[in-house]
Amino acid sequence: MPELPEVETVARDLQRWIAGATIARATVHWDRTIRHPQPPERFVAELVGATIRRVDRRAKTVLLHLEDGRVMTVALRMTGALIVVEADAPDDPYARVVFDLADGRQLRYRDVRKFGRIGLWPGGGLRSVGGGRGARSRRVNEGTVRYRIGEVFSGHGPEPLQRGFTAKRFAERLGRRSAKLKSLLLDQSFIAGVGNIYADEALWRARLHPLRTADSLDEGDVKRLHRAVRQVLREGIVNRGASFSDYVGADGERGNNAERLAVYRRTEQPCYRCGRPIRRIVVGQRSTHFCPRCQPEPVGSETE
């Protein structure tokens, strides 16, 4: 899916284009896109007439803050996209939810694989309160409508681009863990917003093998990884995200970051630092790319 840079790009686009717009009508073409707690009809009924005050992002979710304090969340997952078009734009067979804006434009939620989810929540602040892996799912699945938006994200880890995410804090979180770096970076309760692309990119940049365990890092390793994570994410945002197949910004245009990546989907192509062919392995069922020379294997592991 869209990872942090892609979601950030979409959110910034939407902030620029639809902040202040009023939703005149909404049409749900795929019911399961509308997640608990709202059944689709109720979601539509409660949304019509609402004005969008501000759009931003938390983790990989787009947040549309409404004037009355409620928040619409859009989790794009693998192939979701939010695209603003004029009302006379050609129909899109993959538009799962269409929001007609009062000014005549449409905000379309497009999602080929239908994994994405849209929710509508009462307000209540967006504090991240940390919490373990189960914290989020337990709360969200209990089945009442009484969720506050803060709770939706209560199981997420820190935002890597926020000022408070220091190397020191990162070191504290890493130090206690024995998991593989690749798995940890993908764990949203450990750090929010990093996905498969940027995890591989950050590890390459920090010269750390994806199978290294967090507790094996020394201070220098941690500092490099901290820097690398933030750098690859920031560069991703500058380049409006990486498009491989479905990702586009709210303008419907592809991002420019895919061709600037160092390892992701560059299997067998030469490493930009040392020329050795990039290798692909599977870690935690996810495809993982790294340079076998720049990112030396952890002692005792066999990758051959």
Partner DNA sequence: ACGCCTACCTGCTTGC
Partner DNA sequence: TGCAAGCAGGTAGGCG
Alpha-carbon span 100 to 89, nearest angstrom:
12
Asked whether the beta carbons of 156 and 163 are under 8 A apart, the reply is no
CB nearer DNA, residue 101 or residue 236:
236
Residue matched to tokens 């990546």: 261
Is residue 260 a contact residue for DNA (CB under 7 A)? Answer: no
Q: Is residue 247 involved in binding DNA (CB under 7 A)?
A: yes
Q: Per-residue x/- marks for DNA, 51-70, CB under 7 A?
A: --------xx----------
Structure tokens at 146: 């009484």
Shortest distance (Å) from residue 168 CB to DNA: 19
Q: Which residue has the tokens 């989020």?
A: 136
Asked whether 79 and 246 are in contact (CB, 8 A), the reply is yes
In the complex, the smallest distance separating the C-beta of residue 106 from DNA, rounded to whole angstroms, is 21
Annotation says 146 is catalytic? no
Residues in the chain: 304
Number of helices followed by number of strands (H, E) in the chain: 8, 10
Residue found by looking up tokens 């409620």 in the block: 70
Our finding on whether 217 is near DNA (CB under 7 A) is: no
Cis-peptide, bond into residue 298, ω within 30° of zero:
no
60: annotated active-site residue = yes
**Interface map 158-197 toward DNA (x if CB under 7 A):** -------------------xxxx--x--x-x------xxx
| Cα distance between residue 212 and residue 228, in whole Å | 16
Interaction residues for DNA, span 146-165 (CB under 7 A): none
Taking residues 89 to 118 in sequence order and writing x for each that binds DNA by CB under 7 A, - otherwise, the string is -----------------------xxxx---
Sign (positive or negative) of CA dihedral 226, 231, 237, 241? negative
The single residue of 12, 148, 254, 286 carrying the catalytic annotation is 286
Annotation marks residue 3 as catalytic: yes
Residues interacting with DNA, by CB under 7 A?
1-3, 6, 32, 59-60, 75, 77-79, 112-115, 132-133, 136-137, 140-141, 177-180, 183, 186, 188, 195-197, 214, 241-247, 284-287
Active site (catalytic) residues: 2-3, 60, 286
